[in-house]
A and B are shown apart, each in its own frame.
Chain A
Amino acid sequence: MIRSTLFVCTLFMAASGFASAQATVRVEPANLQSPRPLPEQTQTAAIRDYLKSWQSLRAALEQNRSDLLDPAFVGTARNKLAETIQQQAALGIRTRYQDSAHDIQIVFYSPEGLSIELIDRVEYDVQVFDHDRVNPIQHISARYVIVLTPAEVRWRVRVFQAALK
């Protein structure tokens, strides 16, 4: 199991070509509550696309450009992040998010195959820029609940929400 987890980690780091190259990724064995088996290929694709969504999120919030969210986010998650970007832009604020570690576990694959839910214990840094003022970097450790849904060629994040640990 450890070997396979390590393999998956290596795979993700290699496949996603991280902009956040330092981020370490650990994938726990899936703990599914649904009857539908999760093919390894699907699991790999879903996690790869989720990790890539952090790159989109980072660029979008740093540049205050909601269009950068489109490849990776959809529905509620996209709307909420776009709203955040709009608020940032209105206040003259930018934020820089940098993920450094992910500990991912898939917890639900809906029976009809239209959604995958995963829990990510993620560590990331956030820094707030208000016009010329640079606020200090804050390190955050949080538990995120993610719901991914399939699009034409990839999985997109539909729910992206930090939850209480």
Chain B
Amino acid sequence: MSNGRQLAALLAAATAALVVIGTVWPAPSAAAYAGAKSLLGSSSTAEAAVGNLGDEIRAQAWGKAYAGLANKAQFTQPEFVHDLTGYYPSLLTYTTLDKFEVRPLHASADEAEIELKLHWATVVGSSVSIRDLHVIRNGDRWEPEWPIVKEPIVPPQVLPVNYLRWDVIYSGAGDDWGAQNVEAPHVRIVDMHPVERADGVVILGELLNEDVVPAYVSVAATLLSKNQSPIATEGSFDKISHLLLPKQVTPFLIKFPNVSLSSVGSVRMTPMSALIAASADPVIEIENEQLHPAPGASLTGQLINQSGQIVNVAHVLGTFYNQAGLVVWVADEYIDTALLPQNPVPFEIHIPEDLAKNVSSQRTVIATYSSGGSQ
């Protein structure tokens, strides 16, 4: 009993001591998050000034971040915040800055160019944005200039919208055996083959909605061994456009980590489709699509929202074919800014270097999401 009391007293004393130490000599990061001061301390160098700005953005200390900018007279604080988090609801609206990197590009005694690479943690994974900051010396301090991108202005206009929409009424709940219900959309896998990659087997393919109604789709695959026993089952998750309008085609990619293609005897594909209420708008044009060879192989282009409705999140899926027309890879990118009507937004989808040489053509599809309902 007395040993227990001694241990309790010891723990209490140690805790008190650590609290005192933490208060008097706080860890820099803790102090920064508590708003005491910047993680990097004073802005005595250009890099430190940009680092401080990164810390303040990460802490969402917008006032401090704005106050430390050299060119703040050119825009308001809300404009600065919106430039970072989006003027309209988008992928960045509900995100936090996970980390950032500071890289000097050029420096002189009174000014410098610094690259600030921001890694945002979004609901669909990491999103990276890069800003090149001009930093100027002001006495013994360095102050960054924020390269503001102001809100794009959509010219006032009236867009006649004659959109199509499908709604679904199912039969009521309860025992409906024999009662008529609406048929699930008919979908068909039009291409599928497995590919061996360093980290496992990947199933690539395309799915067609051959019906006259919209379909919510997904695809699952089961790898079977040579004696037909199941090895693993996986789904396409987000490497697919889940909403398919009539006669629309989506690529899909299904990963099986740590599986060797030599152990696979066959593949059982299970496409799933369900009726879904949907709209045929907005129409997104993909303009100026260009395939860039290795090194840095990629597909670039611009998305243009041809409708009047703002698209909050766009998911770009690229299907890459070889000369024989076989799918050799599927890759995607989420656009982290909203698509305003007629306002081009660039995209860049990376292609694995080893596969880039096999790519001779591509097809791009866009899945869009607008606030107030999926599209």
Contacts and interface: CB of A to CB of B under 8 A. Distances in A.
Interface of A: 74-75, 114-115, 149, 158
Contacts of A114: 177-178
Interface in B164-187: 175, 177-178
Contacts of B175: 74-75
B154 to A, nearest CB: 48
Contacts of A158: 177
Give the contact-size bracket for chain B. under 10
Given A75-B175, A115-B177, 7 more contacts: A74-B175, A74-B177, A75-B177, A114-B177, A114-B178, A149-B177, A158-B177
Contacts, number: 9
9 contacts: A74-B175, A74-B177, A75-B175, A75-B177, A114-B177, A114-B178, A115-B177, A149-B177, A158-B177
Nearest to A150: B177
A12 B131 CA distance: 68
B62 to A, nearest CB: 50
A158 B177 CA distance: 9
A134 B178 CA distance: 42
A30 B177 CA distance: 24
Nearest to B178: A114
Nearest to A78: B175
Interface string B242-278: 0000000000000000000000000000000000000
A158 B175 CA distance: 11
Nearest to A114: B177
Contacts of A115: 177
B175 to A, nearest CB: 6
Contacts of B177: 74-75, 114-115, 149, 158
A26 to B, nearest CB: 28
Nearest to B175: A75
B138 to A, nearest CB: 69
Nearest to B177: A149
B355 to A, nearest CB: 38
Contacts of B178: 114
B83 to A, nearest CB: 50
Nearest to A79: B175
Contacts of A75: 175, 177
A128 B177 CA distance: 34
A111 to B, nearest CB: 14
A80 B121 CA distance: 58
A70 B272 CA distance: 28
A9 to B, nearest CB: 24
A157 to B, nearest CB: 12
A134 B72 CA distance: 96
Nearest to A158: B177
Interface in B44-83: none
A74 B177 CA distance: 10
Nearest to A115: B177
B345 to A, nearest CB: 43
A68 B362 CA distance: 58
Across the A-B interface, give the 9 residue pairs with the lowest CB-CB distance, nearest first.
Answer: A149-B177, A75-B175, A75-B177, A74-B175, A158-B177, A114-B177, A74-B177, A114-B178, A115-B177
B121 to A, nearest CB: 37
A29 to B, nearest CB: 24
B303 to A, nearest CB: 41
A104 B131 CA distance: 74
B171 to A, nearest CB: 14
B224 to A, nearest CB: 14
A158 B178 CA distance: 12
